Amino acid sequence: MDNSSKNSLSTHNKIVRRISNYKRGKIFFPNNFVEFGSSHAINNVLNKLEDDGFLIRLAHGIYLYPKKDKTLGILYPSIDEIAKAIAKRDKATIIPTGVNALNKLGLSTQIPMNIVYLTNGSQRDIQIGNRKIRFKKTTPRNLAVKGKLSGLAIQALKEIGQKSITKEVIKKIENILSKEDVELLKHDAKLAPAWIAKIFFSILKKTNHE
């Protein structure tokens, strides 16, 4: 066996060993294995592991260590889980927007085909099967929100639009934000557009936290 074959085998074994140390369902990227060989060698191993069914390619450079259910078959991660894994790899912050934010808050049952996240990372589109993740570059102010619920509420209200807001929607938002930490809500209200801030402060006033 020549040196290149030995190196390839070593890279293969190291990658398989690392993947096997994790629970099934984990998402991997080529840069998870950079210390095991050249990018060419790593990509060759990942391609081989895909061919063998050990990994599933979700998109270019994104692989799944598949978890299988006897009844349901392969359990694929949600688009949100994939987006979070990409953001973690890139050390980027992301916030769901649009219909995705509405869906997460229970304000819509619609499941968008194209999911948009605001980010301070690279702006790009990633095709996942017949769906698309879009990372849209935004200002630091939009990513400075601290509350998970209040951050989603800002994006959901933006999607609905000021002219389309109803009393019913505001009531639902009030119920949702009643579960948010008061200090986080106060903080995020100051970062929201004026008309959304007004809704937030109205909620704070009703709960005597203004």
Write the CATH number for 27. Answer: 1.10.10.10
Question: Residues of the chain with pLDDT > 90: what percent?
Answer: 88
* 110 and 87 in a common domain: yes
State the pTM of this model.
Answer: 0.86
pLDDT band at residue 48 under the 50/70/90 scheme: very high
168 and 117 assigned to the same domain: no
Would you state the torsion angle of the CA atoms of residues 59, 62, 68, 73, taken in this order, to the nearest 10 degrees? Answer: 0
9 pLDDT tier (thresholds 50, 70, 90): low
Average pLDDT over residues 131-157: 96
Q: Which domain holds residue 180?
A: 146-206
pLDDT category of residue 1 using cuts at 50, 70 and 90? very low
Q: Tens of pLDDT along 166-183?
A: 999 999 999 999 999 999
Same domain for 109 and 61:
no
Q: How many domains does the chain have?
A: 3
Task: Looking at the structure, tell me whether residues 109 and 152 fall in a common domain.
Answer: no
Q: What is the pLDDT of residues 92-101, one digit of tens each?
A: 999 999 999 9
Asked if residue 65 and residue 10 are part of one domain, the reply reads yes
Crossing angle for the helix pair 194-206 and 182-189, to the nearest 10 degrees: 150
pLDDT of residue 52: 96
Q: Is residue 62 pLDDT above 70, yes or no?
A: yes
